[in-house]
């Protein structure tokens, strides 16, 4: 039946055209944003998961930055400790050899003391210079914290976030302290490694015993500093491993987010071409349906 009031064919063509236009708008949005799920209305569940994962990735990025700062701090302290241990030309190693040399009968201990003093001043200067971003664990003051926590990881299970850290006890690395309780300034047998003086010692049995005590004291200090350096070396390796892991984890999370929300551009480009053709055909069909009512006029001529 032909009707002037109701054009069923045109209504069907218009409904189809609206559907195609809606799909075309969605496809064009995916192509322009590169995302299949860019808003909560696209897919509420996937959008929520992706948003939480992006927040986790931001936290991991902060952990990566913190690990970089921690690595620089630990490396500074580690370098200073190894310098303090020294070798045949300086540090505790040289100091030990000078004290052994001072055991020689008839030797001029005043001249040896000149070298000893220089080494003592050099080690103290090294400890004072071991500062990064205002942090110094080798030469501490009353305001230096007893324990430091280096942020090393972040994870979230359900709604519960967990931040991991590497706890370090500063006193294990302190060479000098404001209370003279460090590895090199703790007084033992009347002197500390920092205050050893042999200029007035002689070849007497008592002074030889004093020299033996000094040598034992320096040997003990070498062992203590070596232990502290080894500990920091292990921490340094752990930070390096954690840094690599965090970066890999961030890449993995990015890939996971992409699997959830990224659009398949090959698929979307194919769909776009098909929808554009359908839209053109829909416009043509609507035009034909609208023109069909013109044939009714011929019946009245």
Q: What whole-number distance in Å separates Cα of residue 15 and Cα of residue 274?
A: 18
The answer on pLDDT for 1 being more than 60 is no
- Domain residues of the chain, as ranges? 11-34+268-290, 70-243
For residues 122 and 35, which has the higher predicted lDDT (pLDDT)? 122
Pairing of strands 160-169, 147-157: antiparallel
Task: Please tell us whether the domain made up of 70-243 is placed in CATH 2.60.120.1140.
Answer: no
Among the residue ranges 8-22, 139-153, 224-238, the one predicted with the least confidence is 8-22
Average pLDDT over residues 269-297: 82
The pair of structure tokens assigned to 217 is 């004291």
Q: What is the CA radius of gyration of the chain?
A: 39
Q: What is the pLDDT of residue 3?
A: 65
pLDDT band at 10 (very low <50, low <70, confident <90, very high): confident
Q: Is 24 exposed, middle or buried (0-12, 13-18, 19+ CB in 10 A)?
A: middle
Residue 202 to residues 6, 106, 108, 118, 141: CA-CA distances in angstroms?
126, 8, 9, 21, 37
Q: pLDDT tens digits, residue range 28-65?
A: 888 888 888 988 988 999 999 999 999 999 999 999 99
Q: How far is the first Cα of the chain from the last one, in angstroms, to the nearest whole number? A: 20
Query: Which pLDDT value is given to residue 189?
Result: 82
Please give the torsion angle defined by the CA atoms of residues 56, 62, 63 and 66, in that order, rounded to the nearest 10 degrees.
Answer: -170
Q: Give me the chain's average pLDDT, please.
A: 91
pLDDT number for residue 244: 96
pLDDT tens column, 194-236: 999 999 999 999 999 999 999 999 999 999 999 999 999 999 9
Angle, CA 287 vertex, CA 285 and CA 289 arms, to 5°:
70
Q: DSSP letter at 150?
A: E
User: What per-residue confidence (pLDDT) applies to 16?
Assistant: 86
pLDDT at 30: 86
Residue 221 has a CB neighbour count (10 Å cut-off) of: 25
């Amino acid at each position: 039946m032909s009707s002037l009031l109701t054009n069923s064919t045109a209504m069907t063509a218009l409904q189809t055209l609206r559907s195609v236009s809606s799909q075309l708008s969605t496809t064009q949005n995916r192509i322009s944003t590169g995302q299949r799920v860019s808003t909560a209305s696209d897919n509420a569940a996937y959008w929520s998961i992706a948003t939480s994962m992006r927040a986790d990735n931001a936290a991991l990025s902060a952990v990566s930055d913190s690990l970089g700062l921690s690595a620089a701090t630990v490396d500074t302290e580690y370098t200073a400790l190894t310098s303090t241990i020294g070798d045949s030309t300086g540090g505790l190693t040289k100091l030990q050899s000078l004290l052994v040399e001072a055991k020689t009968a008839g030797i001029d201990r005043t001249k040896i003391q000149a070298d000893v003093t220089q080494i003592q001043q050099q080690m103290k200067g090294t400890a004072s210079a071991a500062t990064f971003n205002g942090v110094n664990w080798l030469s501490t003051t009353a305001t230096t914290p007893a324990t430091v926590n280096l942020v090393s990881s972040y994870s979230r299970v359900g709604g519960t976030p967990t931040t991991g850290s590497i706890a370090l006890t500063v006193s294990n690395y302190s060479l000098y302290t404001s209370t003279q309780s460090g590895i090199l300034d703790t007084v033992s047998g009347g002197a500390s490694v920092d205050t050893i003086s042999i200029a007035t010692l002689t070849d007497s049995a008592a002074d030889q015993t004093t020299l033996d005590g000094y040598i034992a004291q320096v040997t003990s200090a070498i062992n203590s500093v070596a232990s502290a350096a080894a500990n920091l070396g292990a921490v340094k390796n752990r930070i390096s491993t954690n840094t690599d892991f965090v970066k890999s984890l961030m890449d993995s999370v990015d890939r996971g987010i992409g699997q959830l929300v990224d659009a398949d551009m090959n698929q979307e480009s194919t769909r776009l071409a098909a929808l554009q053709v359908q839209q053109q055909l829909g416009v043509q069909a609507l035009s034909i349906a609208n023109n069909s009512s013109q044939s009714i006029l011929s019946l009245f001529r």
